[in-house]
Amino acid sequence: MTDPPKQSFHRRWLTRRRFLATALTGSALTMLYTWRIEPQWLEIVERDLPIAGLPPALAGKRLVQMSDLHIGPQVDDGYIIETFQRVAAFQPDIVVHAGDLITYWKDAGPLEQARRVLAHFPRGRLGTVAILGNHDYGLAFNDATIAQRVEQLLAAAGATVLRNAVTEIGGLQIVGLDDLWAGNFAPETAFKTADLGKPTLVLSHNPDTCDLPGWSGYRGWILAGHTHGGQCKPPFLPPPLLPVKNRRYTSGEFQLADDRRLYISRGVGHLLRVRFNVRPEVTVFRLTPAESG
C-alpha cells in the first residue's frame, strides 16, 4: 500500500526540514570554527634546520621562528602573549621574527598595543633577531616613520632589527633583508657585508624576493612569512588567495635554484579573523650540521 497523499507530503516536508536544519547547523558550526577556533589554534611545528658549516657548539640548539604577529585590532593580545609564553617554555637559544609585527590601521593604536604586548616577548638565550614586513610600514606600506617606531619597539624588547644588514650569533651569520613591498629590499647591500664562507641563515619577509636577483651566490636557508598560508584552504586544493606573484609559495619547505631552500611560516596572527585548514604556526627548528655534498 502507498501512503495517502497528505501523509506522503508530510513525510517529505519533514525530511526537507531535517536536511535544511542539518545544513544550517553545519554551516553555523563551520563559520564558528573558522572565526573563533582555528585563528587561535596555534600549531608548534618542530623540525631540523641543517646548516652547512654549523659550529659544533650550535648543533642541537633551538631556533624559534615567529612571523606575522599582526598586533592590532584583529588579533587578541591574550592569544599573542600566550604564544610568547609557549615559545619561552622551549627555552630557545635563538629567536627570530620574520616581519609584520603590527597591522597599522589609521592611527597609532597598534603601536601602543605592541608596546604592551612586547613586554612578554621571548628572547633567545644566545640572541634575538627581527626584520620588518610590509605592514610594519603603515597602511600604504611606505611610511618610514612608522617603520622606525616598530624598529624601536622591537629593539626595546631585546631584538636586533636587521634592515639589509648582518649579525652573528654563536658563529651563525644571520642576514636580514628589508621589505619588498615597502621598496626597501636591497640584498646587494646586505650581502656586501656578509661573509658567505661562514654558516649563514637569511630572513626575508616576502618569499617573492627569492625569485629576484641580488643573492650573490648565497646557498642555504631562507626563512619567510607574509603568506599566512593563504589563511583559508579548501581540502585538496591550493589556497585561492595568496599575496605573492609566485603562486607556489604557500607555506612549508621549498627547494629553490642555486642550492637555496625556503621555509615559509603560516604566521601567528591574521589580517581578518578567519582561518580554515591553515592553522597558525610557530616553528621550532633544531640546528643540525648539513651533510657534505
d(CA 175, CA 166): 5
- Look up cell 659544533; give the residue: 56
pLDDT score, position 40: 96
Which is more confidently placed, 260 or 9? Answer: 260
Do residue 197 and residue 242 come from a single domain?
yes
Do residue 134 and residue 96 come from a single domain?
yes
pLDDT digits (tens, 9 = 90+) for 184-195: 999 999 999 999
Cell of 192: 656586501
d(CA 249, CA 185): 18
Residue 106, phi-psi category: left (phi > 0), alpha (psi -120 to 50), beta (remainder): left
Q: What is the mean pLDDT of residues 27-47?
A: 81
* pLDDT at residue 28 greater than cutoff 90: no
* pLDDT at residue 109 greater than cutoff 90: no
Do residue 96 and residue 143 come from a single domain?
yes
Instruction: Count structural domains, the chain.
Output: 2
Do residue 11 and residue 121 come from a single domain?
no
Q: What is the mean pLDDT of residues 32-38?
A: 77
Q: What is the mean pLDDT of residues 16-42?
A: 64
Helix, strand, or coil here: 20?
helix
The mean of the pLDDT values for the chain is: 91
Amino acid letter, 168: E
pTM above 0.75, yes or no: yes
Do residue 36 and residue 47 come from a single domain?
no
Q: Which residues are paired to 46 by β-bridges?
A: 284
pLDDT score, position 30: 58
Do residue 47 and residue 170 come from a single domain?
yes
Residue 33 structural domain: 1-40
Q: What is the mean pLDDT of residues 190-201?
A: 96
pLDDT score, position 107: 82
- DSSP class of residue 180 equals T
pLDDT band of 27, cuts 50, 70, 90: low
Say if residues 264 and 252 touch (Cβ distance below 8 Å). yes
Do residue 76 and residue 118 come from a single domain?
yes
Do residue 141 and residue 84 come from a single domain?
yes
Q: What is the mean pLDDT of residues 40-67?
A: 98
Do residue 28 and residue 134 come from a single domain?
no
Do residue 50 and residue 79 come from a single domain?
yes
d(CA 144, CA 147): 5
* pLDDT at residue 39 greater than cutoff 70: yes
Residue-level length of the chain: 293
Residue 282: CATH number of its domain: 3.60.21.10
Q: What is the mean pLDDT of residues 129-135?
A: 98
Do residue 47 and residue 88 come from a single domain?
yes
pLDDT score, position 21: 46
Q: What is the mean pLDDT of residues 158-183?
A: 98
pLDDT score, position 108: 80
Percent of the chain with pLDDT over 90: 83
Do residue 20 and residue 134 come from a single domain?
no
- Indicate the Cα dihedral angle 53, 56, 57, 59, nearest 10°: 80
